[in-house]
A = this chain, B = another copy of it.
Amino acid sequence: MVMREVSVAWPQSPTSLGAVLRHVHLSGSVSRTALAERLGVNRSTIKALIADLVAAGLVREEPPADTGRRGRPSLVVRPEPTRAYVLAFDVAVDRLVAARVDLGGAIVERYEAVRPRSGPDLELVVDVLARFGRRLHASAPAGSACVGVGASYCGMIRPGDGMVRYGPDLGWVDQAFGAELGRRLGLGLPVAVGNEAHLGAQAEQQRGAGIGHQNLIYLHGDVGVGGGIIVGGSLLAGDGGYGCEVGHMIVNPYDGRRCLCGSQGCFEAEVGERALLDLAGRPATEFGWDAVRSVVDDANRGDPAAQEAVRRVGDWLGIGVVNLINLFNPGMVVFGGTLRDVYPAATDQVRARIAANVLPVARERVRLRISGLGYDTTLVGAAELGFAPLLADPLGTLARAA
């Protein structure tokens, strides 16, 4: 066999193209030089990879803003916003959200609906979301392709088919949510579904308070408390994808409040919405995020009952956080959902518990933060789930979507 050296175009693997696109998508704006460094490739390779993405209309190259430094600056790569988008859905206990999210992560259009707390309602939920979705799809700019659909759901989700195995807050058991939403959207795209707190953890790590953290815990307050735990850079899934159920860690087994799951003294029973509202003396007819926020506001204004409620819930919140730090030795704990309001009011209680009960060695480096993505953490996580196929194989996914 004789081989001759010939000049050939460097073959761009879907993986390399996806890696470049992921950096641009998450950074918003990044120089050629920085991209080459992060991917560990040389200048001619990064140039060829970017050229392919530019040709596909997914990114653009621009001169950077004037840096005041001499010499020719490295071109800056940005996502092209009007070429590819995803539909993102968020099914929370009290609200339904749908959004169109462009490459680069901007939420460009959204619809929200209040969801009544009334038992199994797969059909109603899917009906509302599908209507929103079709409207978002219809109003997308010409030439922009829908490359994926992601949904966040407040329950335990079977990986692969988006089956809601268990949603204790709403009484859902084994409901084919993902498949049904995909059918009703009629876009010929599968709907990737994830647990809200799992997606929230990934969103906070990629775009929020926890950028760069490889060991991160995200706590999502709603009726209860969901958890998403990043261990060594990856979401803790467990054998079936049902790990991270921090809300059902028992912290008060003999004297605790009843939990919606049937147990007694679960973490979420002690720190959830009902506990706070009951302790503040609010009637059972009050519930939801606004009710939680009003207790926190009253506590901040000096109302003694509200302060006592926040203090007691804060102590239980601290106990749960202590357990998670001792178990996971994380670099960061992020509070989202209703805990975005509760944690700042209960910081003293949480910090006191950590100081008293976390092993000194395990708390050396841990930071506590509220979610960096506001109340959109779970929606952003759903959008990122929708972008996964594009970031795995940009050109193939775009070709299939067109």
Residues of A within 8 A of B (CB): 1-5, 156, 165-166, 168, 214-215, 227, 229, 231-232, 234, 236-246, 248-255, 261-263, 319, 322-323, 326-331, 356-362, 364-366
Q: Closest CB of chain B to A236's CB: distance in Å?
A: 6
Given A165-B361, A242-B361, are A326 and B249 neighbors across the interface (CB < 8 Å)? yes
Give the nearest-CB partner of A236 in chain B: B231
Contact A243 B327 (CB under 8 A): yes
7 closest residue pairs by CB, A with B? A238-B329, A243-B329, A245-B326, A239-B331, A263-B357, A242-B329, A1-B5
- Residues of chain B contacted by A322 (CB below 8 angstroms): 250
Q: Closest CB of chain B to A317's CB: distance in Å?
A: 12
- Residues of chain B contacted by A243 (CB below 8 angstroms): 215, 327-329, 362
Q: Closest CB of chain B to A194's CB: distance in Å?
A: 15
Bound CA–CA A316/B31 (angstroms) = 56
Contact B166 A359 (CB under 8 A): yes
- Residues of chain B contacted by A358 (CB below 8 angstroms): 248
Q: Binding site of A, secondary structure by majority: helix, strand, loop or mixed?
A: loop
Give the nearest-CB partner of A156 in chain B: B361
Contact A239 B215 (CB under 8 A): yes
Contact B156 A242 (CB under 8 A): no
Bound CA–CA A359/B242 (angstroms) = 9
Bound CA–CA A5/B360 (angstroms) = 62
Known: A239-B330, A242-B359. 13 other contacts (CB 8 A): A1-B4, A3-B3, A156-B362, A215-B239, A231-B232, A238-B329, A239-B365, A240-B365, A242-B329, A245-B329, A245-B359, A248-B326, A251-B251
Q: Closest CB of chain B to A215's CB: distance in Å?
A: 5
Q: Closest CB of chain B to A170's CB: distance in Å?
A: 15
Give the nearest-CB partner of A240 in chain B: B329
Contact B357 A238 (CB under 8 A): no
Contact B4 A2 (CB under 8 A): yes
Q: List 25 A-B contacts (CB under 8 A).
A: A3-B3, A156-B361, A166-B361, A227-B327, A231-B231, A231-B232, A232-B236, A232-B237, A236-B327, A238-B362, A239-B329, A239-B330, A239-B365, A240-B329, A245-B329, A245-B359, A245-B362, A248-B359, A249-B327, A250-B357, A251-B251, A251-B253, A252-B254, A261-B359, A262-B357
